[in-house]
Amino acid sequence: MIRVLVFLRFIVVFLISFSSTSSLLSQTSIDKLSEMFEANKVSVLLVYAARDTSVSQGSAFLIAPDGLAISNYHVFKDKDNAMAIDYEGNKYDDITIIYSNPDMDFIIFRINGVKLPHLKMAANQASIGEPCFAIGNPMGLDQTLSTGIVSGYRDNDNYIQTSAEITFGSSGGPLFNSIGEVIGITTAGYGQANLNFAINMQKIDIENTKNRLSDSPDQIVRKYLTYLGNREFANAYSLSDNPLWIKNGGLKWFVSTDAYGAINSVNIKEIQVESISNTQAIVYTHYFAEDSLHTSRHWKQNYYLEKKANGWVIVKAKLK
């Protein structure tokens, strides 16, 4: 009987000790999660995209110190203006979309005037079973925290499956690993515990993508002239005063009256931006072209560009 009482006392002490330790560990985890949430929420934004009376709502997060942000493409699809709201309720409507990838369902845009920290991207892929958490704006309820684990990887690891809940309005927000680094862009949830998905950031070459965004209007024109094919230049040098934009053939500023042969080379003398705004730019060019008979002609032209979803696009050219 004494042995039984001693044993029971030991069990009780052990359970009390285990319970205290579990509570301590649980509280430590909660404190850590709260700390990561507070540190990262400032970089997560509520976004609205609209066209006429059609409005979509989602989430986004900052990925660079100059206001560069990322979200889901489907949040912005077929919309022509957008607004972002930060954690303090400040609104930003000066937004420029500079890169989109419909296939991977992500879009990169710059929020002009925002001065908030950006999030850190994870260097490695999270392990299945690793704790994770998301910050989003489901149904417009800003700065909502949800937690779970990495449940699996799908579609050749393009998507992370997670038990962290992702509902309407959270699309485009960040999914974090256990140490607060971004591992995914939250994309969809199907109302069941393990059927939530995020784009795997390891499948997006974010640094290379950001580097490609630096193309300014004059760089776009320089690339256009450098790689322009013979078909676009045509065979003659009688120039039209009102060049046309041919959607599938490039710029047409030649009137084909004399055939001297196709252009062999373009020698750029000068390219400079004459004027630029958030949506339009004019680039002055002065260049020489030489045909197969070594006959040279020179042109001074203004290129007119507009900012589209994929960056600056040449829409017109006019002789100076």
Are β-strands 131-136 and 174-176 bridged in parallel, bridged antiparallel, or unpaired? antiparallel
Is 302 within 8 Å of 284 (Cβ atoms)?
yes
Is 133 within 8 Å of 148 (Cβ atoms)?
yes
In DSSP terms, 313 is beta-bridged to: 306
First to last CA, the chain: 108
DSSP alpha helices (H): ranges in the chain?
Answer: 2-40, 73-76, 206-212, 217-227, 230-233
User: In which order are the strands placed within the sheet that holds 54-62?
Assistant: 91-92, 81-85, 44-51, 54-62, 68-71, 106-111, 95-101
Query: Active site includes 74?
Result: yes
Integer Cα distance of 217 and 100 in angstroms: 18
**Which residue among 52, 78, 103, 241 is the active-site one?**
103
Query: Active site includes 171?
Result: yes
**Which residue among 43, 71, 74, 178 is the active-site one?**
74
Q: Count the neighbouring beta carbons within 10 Å of the beta carbon of residue 267.
A: 11
Distances (CA, A) of 260 to 54, 164, 226, 293, 296: 53, 66, 21, 7, 10
Q: What is the CA radius of gyration of the chain?
A: 28
Query: Active site includes 105?
Result: no
**Which residue among 43, 71, 151, 171 is the active-site one?**
171
Integer Cα distance of 212 and 219 in angstroms: 11
| Active-site amino acid positions | 74, 103, 171
